[in-house]
Amino acid sequence: MTRTASFRDPGGSVSVSKDRVVRTILPAGRANLKACLDSPAARRFVDSGTLISTQPIDEITVEHPRIPFASYPHEWPAVMLHAAAQLTLDLCSALLEEGRGLKDATPANILFRGPGPVFVDVLSFEDRDPHDAIWLADAQFARTFLIPLLLHRRTGCAIHEFFLTRRDGIAPEDAVRRLPTPRRWFPPDLGLVTIPSRAARFESEGLYRPRRTRDAGEARFVLGHHFRSLRKKLDALTPRPGSSAWSNYEAACPSYTKEQQDAKRRFVEQAIQEIRPSRVLDVGANNGEFSLMAAAARASVVSIDSDPETIAALWRTGNTSGADILPLVVDFARPTPAAGWRCREHAGFLERAEGYFDCALALAVAHHLMVTDRIPLPEIFETLADLTTRWLIIEYVGPQDPMFRRLARGRDALFNWYSREAFDECAGRVFEVVRSIDIPSSERAIYLLRRKS
């Protein structure tokens, strides 16, 4: 099936199918495409893997390689938004030296290949007026990158939630009300939010007119200074590592002894070595131990968890180590819905994931879905069967397990029906058991399951 993934740009549109990404270039976009294809800086970014490559097909269409798994700003933790902002400024600075620039600055121009950002909008490139010292995308860069990162720094808000309903970011007048009163009068809050929010009432058409300088060198100097200033602001807003809700949860009610954890780890490692999956979904990835294990076996991994700090920590680990892991803030019980115009621009998580993976990991997660979110066990297995074409590694946690009882909060009677036999029966509807082990001295077991045809 082919779907239109981009239609807002008057310069062209993008159609995505299972194996191809084809961009149709309209007359208004031909100069932008030429600016990209003619740019030595753009070629360097293509070579480094941070700009999508472009292969002309004919006069009006080009083809791009498909990013393995699409993700969107409403699924990114703050560190990934920050990395996307850095790439945007890197491109702006490099293009400035050759008389080119970017006509817009939005996270929608970025996808992630594993932990690495990739700029994908080749129609954002333009040949700039050499005497114009204004970057028209400046306010957009602030709304979609700097202000969300500022609010995350000041209030600890989960910034991915903003982008699901605010495609163009957060305006200064909306952000100022969220800032602590004393902070809003000091840099960088003052320049990013407080002053622009007060100046908005005086906005006029003249604000966006080109500011022509006496010569091209002066304009380039002014813009260069401005990009360096933006980079300083961005550096000051680098997200700090935070504490995960799950780390506190594990500390309060530890799941495993060392012996039990070692048994679990050995089983999963042996299973991964045996089945050699190529695309793995790690549901409820937590600290990413098993995502990293799968990546070490040369699998391409998508790791999801509802806790942004957990996902941020995993992104840092993957980015440092080079592991092929794409960590996303996704609550499996309430997966990211379709979004955008008529819900057609951004496919929902389950739609993107369906049939994409050949192995899913669901370790210490099924009982959370069943007890906390009240998802029926058969529904859990059926959904996992939709996402993996072949393998599932899943953990059984019995009703007498301390973690299970902690989640149940005294509602144990609701789960009188639940047992190892009930778990096996539900699994057997869509999977067959390859093997399993009981975790020593516990109410837990690990299974390797194969999807039924």
In 3D space, the residue among 410, 396, 365 whose CA is nearest the CA of residue 383 turns out to be 365
Q: Across all residues in the chain, what is the average pLDDT?
A: 92
Q: What percent of the chain has pLDDT over 90?
A: 77
Domains and their CATH numbers in the chain: 1-240 (1.10.510), 245-451 (3.40.50.150)
Beta partners for 4? 15
Alpha-carbon distance 210 to 132, whole Å?
6
Alpha-carbon distance 40 to 220, whole Å?
18
Alpha-carbon distance 302 to 220, whole Å?
41
Residue-level pLDDT at 341: 84
Residue-level pLDDT at 9: 85
Q: Which residues contact 403 (CB under 8 A, 6 or more apart)?
A: 253, 255, 364, 367, 397
Q: What is the mean pLDDT of residues 104-108?
A: 95
What amino acid occupies position 50? T
| C-alpha to C-alpha distances, 385 to 90, 121, 288, 406, 422, nearest whole angstrom | 42, 34, 22, 28, 18
Q: Which residues contact 354 (CB under 8 A, 6 or more apart)?
A: 386, 387
In 3D space, the residue among 227, 197, 237 whose CA is nearest the CA of residue 105 turns out to be 227
Q: pLDDT tens-digit profile of 166-197?
A: 888 999 999 998 998 888 898 888 999 999 88
Per DSSP (E only), the strands in 89-129 are 100-102, 110-113, 116-119, 125-127
State the CB neighbour count (10 A cutoff) for residue 392: 25
Alpha-carbon distance 46 to 36, whole Å?
11
Q: Which residues contact 224 (CB under 8 A, 6 or more apart)?
A: 93, 96
Q: Look at residue 397 and give its three-state secondary structure.
A: strand
Number of helical (H) and strand (E) elements in the chain, helices listed first: 19, 16
Q: pLDDT tens-digit profile of 211-241?
A: 778 888 999 999 999 999 999 999 999 998 8
**The pTM is what?**
0.93
Q: pLDDT tens-digit profile of 405-434?
A: 999 998 988 999 999 999 999 999 999 999
